[in-house]
Each structure stands twice: as C-alpha cells, then as structure tokens.
Amino acid sequence: MPKVYFEKEDRTIQVEPGENLREAAIRNKFSVYAHVQKILNCRGRALCAACTVKVVAGNVAPRNDAEAKRLAKKPADFRLACQIAVEDDLVIATHPSKQSRAPSKTI
Ligand code: FES
C-alpha cells in the first residue's frame, strides 16, 4: 500500500494503490487546499487548480490533458492532486510556490 508524505505538514497517509491523491487525502482527513479554497474548489474536476501540489519525490504518470492545460505555465513537477493516481510512495509539497522549483527526486 503506497504512502504519501506531506512534507510541510509532516504527515503521512496510507493510500490504496491507484487511489486518487485528493480523495485519499480527504479520506484521511487531510486537506490539500489552502484557506478559502477548502470550500471554493471544483471538487476534483481539474478546473480550478486549487489542489496544485509539487511532487518532491516518487513516480507519477505524466500529466493528463486537463492537467497539461491547467498547469501549462507551471513547472513539470507541479501537479493537480485531483488528477493523480497514486501507485508509488510519494513526497508531496502542498501549496507550492515559485521558490520551490527544484527538480523532482525519486525515492
Ligand atoms: S480540485 Fe480543482 S483542479 Fe483539483
């Protein structure tokens, strides 16, 4: 069973193989959203980018078309939590900023 470590919050959650990252976070009572976006978000439809996270370590499938469109101007390791199927242990940074553009590592 993959584990996802949210480095800023120092929290690890267990994820079912293939489970959606946003849904796994919700199931574990963890929010990938900041501030008012906890309420004002598209509920996983890849429309708002409020769930943007940085994949610090671990392997994920390439961006799908919706992510590619929504994150076109963001670094390649920025992803939409609502579009990631977790198949590997991951290290995730929530609410990534422009300062956190270091390339992804593998674990
Ligand atoms: S929840 Fe809106 S893009 Fe992921």
Ligand 1 mean position to 81 CA, how many Å?
A: 7
Look at phi and psi of residue 18 and say left if phi exceeds 0, alpha if psi is from -120 to 50, else beta: left
pLDDT for res 4: 98
Cβ neighbour number for residue 68 with a 10 Å cutoff? 12
> What pLDDT is stored for residue 39 in this prediction?
92
Spatial separation of the C-alpha atoms in residues 25 and 46, rounded to whole Å: 16
Give all domains of the chain, ordered by start, each with its CATH number. Answer: 3-94 (3.10.20.30)
CA 72 to CA 79: how far, in whole Å? 10
For the record, the structure tokens of 10 come out as 């120092």
Using the mean position of ligand 1's atoms as its centre, give its distance from the Cα of residue 102 in Å. Answer: 23
CA 44 to ligand 1: nearest atom: 1
The residue behind tokens 């961006």 is 63
Site residues for ligand 1, CB cut-off 6 Å: 41-42, 44, 46-51, 80, 82
Q: What is the pLDDT of residue 97?
A: 82
What's residue 102's pLDDT?
53
Residue 53 CA to residue 95 CA, distance in Å, equals 6
Q: In the prediction, which pLDDT does 52 show?
A: 97
The mean pLDDT values, 10 residues at a time, for the chain of 107 residues are 97 97 97 93 96 98 96 96 98 82 55
pLDDT at position 11 is 97
pLDDT of residue 47: 96
Per-residue confidence (pLDDT) for residue 66, from 0 to 100: 96
| pLDDT for residue 17 | 97
- Looking at ligand 1, which atom is closest to the CA of residue 50? 2
Q: Which residue, among 15, 93, 85, has the nearest Cα to 55 in the 3D structure?
A: 93
In angstroms, what is the span from residue 49 Cα to ligand 1's centroid? Answer: 5
> Pairing between strand 85-86 and 52-57?
unpaired
- pTM above threshold 0.95: no
